[in-house]
Structure 1
Amino acid sequence: MGVFDFIKDVGEKLFGASEAQAASAEKIKAEIEKHGLDAKDLKVDVSGDTVKISGTAASNEVREKIILAAGNTLGTAKVEEALQVEKSEPESRFYTVKKGDNLSRIAEAEYGKGQAGRYKDIFEANKPMLKDPDKIYPGQVLRIPA
């Protein structure tokens, strides 16, 4: 089981509210399914600004994307997950976007000098939540593949 922190006041607005408030379990589950992130026996519970997720994901990549889909919603400060994984693979790191960041800068910071071109790897690792490599925002949490 893992616990992941997010910035409560930023993220996808699931219910049209202008202020940060926790989305319902049904809306977060719908957000996860909207991205095609399927998990067997997926269970989502919301308590205040904390989302609890359990079930079985096909891979660690799907597990991580489920965590991000739930955590990058307006009003979510913490995701507690107990997802089992059918296919083991290396875990990604998570990175919180800062003001002035772009995927090339993040790639250089995470992979080393001269690695700005690996922004494509980060973009691909965060699909379908990211639809454009130029549309990231401060506070958003991204997967950084190993």
Structure 2
Amino acid sequence: MLKKEGKMGLFDFVGNIGKKIFNREDEASKAVTEHIAEDNPGVENVNVTVENGVAKLEGSAKSASALEKAILMAGNIAGITSVKADGVNILNGEVLAGDDEFYVIQKGDTLWAIAEKHYGNGIKYKAIVEANKEVIKDENKIFPGQKIRLPKSL
């Protein structure tokens, strides 16, 4: 489960899974910053520093949703164990989602089954894909340990 401590605090991830975008930690800050900027979900002046597997995000998010997506984009990278987001200002005053709005992909999961379980209708998996388009690039390629956002209501 995506854990959060404090107001925006620290979000924990499984460090040995996900997309590998850097080989050494001295490459990580630049690589993670570029990764988020490439598919930027709405965080202005995004900057990431990585130290000992912790990615610290800075910038200004247009919404809590934008920041949550940036956190998931950083945290689902191999080598990142935590994401610290208290350096990001949410411009519209929203607060980050609670843990119940995140989901950790389990072995054998499909987006259809997740949608069926959470919304009572498997076809609603398309809304999950849309809410996670920066994290789920191919709806047929999700992996155990990957964290995604579940939209509150569909």
Q: Same fold (TM over 0.5)?
A: yes
1:80-91 alignment to 2 at 5 Å? 80-82=84-86, 83-87=88-92, 88=94, 91=97
TM-superposed deviation, 1:128: 2.9
Coordinate RMSD, CA, aligned: 2.0
- Moved beyond 4 Å, runs of 4+: none
Which of 82, 91, 101 lines up with 2:109 in the alignment?
Answer: 101
* TM-score, structure 1 normalization: 0.85
Matched residues, number: 140
Letter in 2 for 1:35: D
1:1-146 alignment to 2 at 5 Å? 1-15=8-22, 17=23, 22=25, 24-82=28-86, 83-87=88-92, 88=94, 91=97, 93-111=101-119, 114-146=120-152
- CA gap of 1:27–1:90, structure 2 versus 1, over 3 A, is closer
SS class of match (2:141): coil
Structure 2: gaps spanning 5 or more residues: 1-7
TM-superposed deviation, 1:38: 4.1
* Cα distance in structure 1, aligned partners of 2:148 and 2:83: 14
* TM-score, structure 2 normalization: 0.81
Letter in 1 for 2:81: A
Compare the two structures and name the one with the higher strand fraction: 1
TM-superposed deviation, 1:36: 2.5
Structure 1: gaps spanning 5 or more residues: none
The range that moved more, 127-136 or 57-66, is 127-136
* Cα distance in structure 2, aligned partners of 1:107 and 1:4: 24
SS class of match (2:90): strand
1:39–1:57 CA contact under 8 A, matched in 2: yes
Deviation per residue, 1:84-115 (Å, 9 max, x gap): 2123378371111010001011112323xx32
TM-superposed deviation, 1:45: 1.5
* Cα distance in structure 2, aligned partners of 1:145 and 1:89: 15
